[in-house]
Amino acid sequence: MALPSTFLPAFVFLTFCLCLYPHLASAKHGSTGVTRHYKFNIRMHNVTRLCQSKSIITVNRKFPGPRIIAREGDRLVIKVVNHVSNNITIHWHGIRQLRSGWADGPSYITQCPIQTGQSYVYNFTIIGQTGTLWYHAHVSWIRSTLYGPIVILPRRNTSYPFVKPYKEVPIIFGEWWNNDTEAVINQALQTGAGPNNSDAYTINGLPGPLYNNCSSPKETFRLKVKPGKTYLLRIINAALNDELFFKIANHTFTVVDADASYVKPFETDTIFITPGQTSNVLFKTKNLTSNAQFMMAARPYSTAAVGTFDNTTVAGVLEYISDTMSSSSNITSIKGLPLPTLPAINATAYVANWTNKFRSLGNSQFPVNVPQTVQNRYFFAVGLGSDPCPKNQTCQGPNGTKFAASINNISFTSPTIALLQARYFGKSNGVFTTDFPSTPLSPFNYSGTPPNNTMVSHGTKVVVLPYNTTVELVMQGTNIFGAENHPLHLHGFNFYVVGQGTGNYNSTTDPANFNLVDPVERNTVGVPSAGWVAVRFRADNPGVWFMHCHIEIHLSWGLRMAWAVMDGKLPNQKLPPPPSDLPKC
């Protein structure tokens, strides 16, 4: 279904949304934008995939969840009602949440979870962002089924800085488990081993025809297009644990956006996208006859030396239709259609080259505000490690230990009350400490031979940043139990990716090659396998902000920390009090 044109009058646009998206309850005009009200009922819903039916956690009984549609400058008021037995929070991934940290959503960071039978209203304004973001549960592994797209259109009377698309289509990658994902992660944490793999990847919730001769024709995503048109594909990687390559046979894309920030357009025939990342790409169809078909496919990128991963391929179909054909025409056979050729599973060079292609658009309308000077520098070593096996227990991790993960050898311990509440009410004692190390306490050859001692430390530690100070963060991947690409996501901020490289970061020579002119602006970036990435941002958003690997098993193992940004002196530089319905622990 096409999204509304950005040039439709306000009344038509609102009528369109209200008719097609009943979960959008109402919208009121304000001085700078519209207030849009949504209601999310979190309910169990029976879904059949791969010849098996199971009850999954959903928003409004939809999988994937319903679209949120707004314009830059709009205020969103989203009431989330929990009708399931699990605790729930929802994170609005990539939304800056300027002075609205109470609405960010990670459990025990900015809020306690919404308990069964309870509700919470997320209230925030979209400021300075246009493109595609997404929402997902932020408790344990519930986001495996609870996720959906956030479509942010340009402000009224403005347009995209590229050709107006004929239609817009979300492409959301996910993972499907026949088993309950809560049981999967609980077993992994108990045994200390890597988790069981997913059973399939999905495109818009559908696994496609390549899985065990079981998936029905209705379980294949079909992108129906007309010849000679330009489509905007809003691509989201909502998979729990895998970075993905994506390609449509005999077609190319033009990348125009990353994480809801415009980029200098570039062409490619293969998309690489990590969990958490989003991208808008223009897709121009060819002048072909109707019924022409081409396969699309996505499969993982992995350099992991230990454990296993879901080494399968999800496929869909691109199908040309004419003006006289219905977009819901009968499903035709796709037997014999060749799959597109994707990069090798461990195509590290391709990923590095891909990342280097991204540059901010950087014009007068969309300026680059990368900090030119730095007040706070941090060097974080990120990667895997181990925990000792408890007495009287057999562990299946490395050398009889349990897998763990850490930043600067600190594996994050989740508190029992939210960090933001503790900070705001001055009750941090016993909840968190402010001594997170700015560099590794025990340096080693990060990309070379790992140290003999792989044990991690544990704690609930944060970094404190004075308001409006500038930050440079270098994240260095480690080789402990194998080098992996770690997609690190920072809540509450966009950052500029000013540099990356292989091997160990050299603080003397590498900064000379930093891009301080037009670096890409993102909220999630891959720390290269056995390499490093450098980012800069300004701490202009008071609150407590989570930063973590978006590979969910690594987050579960402790690859996470938080930044506490202090209030500024002026009223508009301070975090407002929490809403009255903030969930209690």
Q: Which two tokens stand for residue 246?
A: 């994506």
The secondary structure of residue 542, as a DSSP letter, is -
Residue 27: its pLDDT value, please? Answer: 62
* Ramachandran category for residue 68: left, alpha or beta (phi over 0 → left; psi -120 to 50 → alpha): beta
Q: Nearest-CA neighbor of 582 among 90, 103, 146?
A: 103
Rounded Cα distance, 230 and 265, in Å: 15
CA 195 to chain centre: 20
- Residue 99: the pLDDT is 97
**What DSSP assignment string belongs to 424-460?**
HTT--TTT-BS---SS-SS---TTSSPPS--BPEEE-
Question: Structure tokens of 37?
Answer: 């009200």
C-beta of residue 71 within 8 angstroms of C-beta of residue 32: no
pLDDT value at position 548?
Answer: 98
pLDDT tens-digit map of 277-300: 999 999 999 999 778 999 999 999
Distance, in Å, from the CA atom of 359 to the CA atom of 518, rounded to the nearest integer, reads: 6
**pTM flag (> 0.75):** yes
205 Rama class: left (phi>0) / alpha (psi -120 to 50) / beta:
left
Collapse the DSSP code of 512 into the 3-class scheme (helix H, G, I; strand E, B; otherwise coil) and give the result.
helix
- Select from 27, 24, 56, 32 the least CA-distant residue to 43: 56
**pLDDT mean values, one per 10 residues, the chain (585 residues):** 39 40 50 90 97 96 98 98 98 98 98 98 97 98 98 96 97 97 97 95 96 79 97 98 97 98 98 98 93 96 76 96 64 82 95 97 95 98 97 94 97 97 96 98 94 96 98 97 94 98 98 98 96 98 98 97 98 97 95
Token digits of residue 17: 């949304």
Hey, CA dihedral for 126, 129, 134, 137, is it positive or negative? negative
499/487 Cα distance (integer angstroms): 15
| Region of 378 on the Ramachandran plot (φ > 0 left; ψ -120 to 50 alpha; else beta) | beta
> Measuring CA to CA, which residue among 461, 534, 541 is closest to residue 501?
534
Residue 498 structure tokens = 């000013």
Beta strands in 185-342 (DSSP E): 200-203, 222-225, 230-237, 243-248, 253-258, 261-268, 271-273, 278-284, 293-301, 314-320
pLDDT digits (tens, 9 = 90+) for 195-241: 999 999 999 999 999 997 676 778 999 999 999 999 999 999 999 99
Q: What is the number of alpha carbons within 13 Å of residue 10 lying toward its C-beta?
A: 14
Q: What is the predicted pLDDT for the residue at 13?
A: 40
pLDDT in tens, 338-356: 999 999 999 999 999 999 9
What is the H or E stretch that residue 49 is in? Answer: strand 34-49
pLDDT of residue 146: 98
